């Protein structure tokens, strides 16, 4: 078990650090302010949520029943922050803000997409936590779920790249494609 725990913890730590490894204080653009808060705060809170998932879960096969509800709460909060970030990007695109102001948010969203499956720890489905919106098919069809997550990851990478390139038309197209991948996964794996 110690090896599984170490492997899971290392994966979670890489997922947590990833959104911040390419951003420096000097290179960071001015952030788009949404609802009185900054995108940076949303992304930092998301990273902290992932740390909680890693810390509470321990190892994928060792979730205690009393911890399952905590993991689900963190997972739901992480997805709420992802939705807020995604919505903030759309607001910025619609408002015509300089795309560099959306770069940090789109990079964070892309990094979240690359690591989000870590939030779906076995033992945190509806049989353990009836209030979860995650369907049991996530764990019974893990390969299919990972494929949907990979589609989302690819779409968010295209969104990030279009924003980084300063191409508003491509960014709007990539935003719509990303939204479609969200819906596809939700249709299959969310109640």
Residue 103 has pLDDT above 50, yes or no: yes
pLDDT at 107 over 80: yes
Residue 8's pLDDT is 41
CATH of domain 2-189: 1.20.120.10
User: For all residues of the chain together, what is the average pLDDT?
Assistant: 80
Q: What are phi and psi of 33, to 5 degrees?
A: -90, 125
Structure tokens at 3: 């090896």
- The pLDDT-based confidence of 10 (bands split at 50, 70, 90) is very low
Average pLDDT over residues 73-86: 95
pLDDT tens figures, 119-132: 999 999 999 999 99
As given in the structure block, the two tokens for residue 21 are: 């490894």
Quick one: CA dihedral 81, 79, 154, 177, positive or negative? Answer: negative
Closest CA to 77 of 31, 112, 128: 112
Runs of H (alpha helix) within the chain: 2-17, 39-57, 65-95, 103-115, 137-140, 142-165, 168-189
Q: pLDDT tens-digit profile of 33-44?
A: 444 455 566 556
Q: In which band, very low, low, confident or very high, does the pLDDT at 29 lie, cut at 50, 70 and 90?
A: very low
Lowest-confidence pick of 39-53, 56-70, 90-104, 177-191: 39-53
Over residues 39-50, the mean pLDDT reads 59
pLDDT given for residue 65 in this prediction: 85
Which residue, 42, 47, 122, is CA-closest to 80? 42
Structure confidence at residue 40 (pLDDT): 60
Q: Which of 103, 44, 110 is nearest to 77 (CA)?
A: 44
Give the C-alpha separation, 143 to 166, whole Å: 35
Please determine, for residue 78, whether its predicted confidence score (pLDDT) is greater than 80. yes
């Amino acid at each position: 078990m110690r090896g599984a725990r170490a492997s899971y913890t290392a994966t979670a730590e890489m997922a947590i650090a990833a959104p911040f490894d390419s951003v420096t204080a000097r290179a960071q653009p001015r952030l788009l302010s949404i609802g009185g808060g900054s995108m940076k705060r949303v992304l930092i809170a998301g990273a902290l949520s992932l740390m909680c998932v890693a810390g509470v879960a321990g190892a994928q096969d060792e979730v205690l029943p009393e911890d399952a509800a905590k993991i689900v709460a963190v997972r739901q909060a992480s997805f709420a922050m992802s939705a807020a970030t995604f919505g903030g990007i759309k607001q910025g695109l619609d408002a015509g803000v300089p795309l560099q102001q959306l770069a940090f948010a789109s990079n964070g969203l892309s990094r979240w997409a690359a690591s989000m499956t870590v939030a779906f720890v076995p033992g945190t489905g509806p049989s353990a936590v009836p209030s979860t919106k995650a369907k049991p098919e996530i764990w019974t069809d893990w390969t299919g779920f990972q494929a949907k997550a990979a589609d989302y990851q690819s779409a968010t990478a295209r969104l990030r790249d279009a924003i980084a390139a300063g191409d508003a038309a491509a960014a709007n197209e990539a935003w719509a494609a990303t939204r479609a991948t969200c819906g596809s996964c939700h249709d299959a794996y969310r109640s």
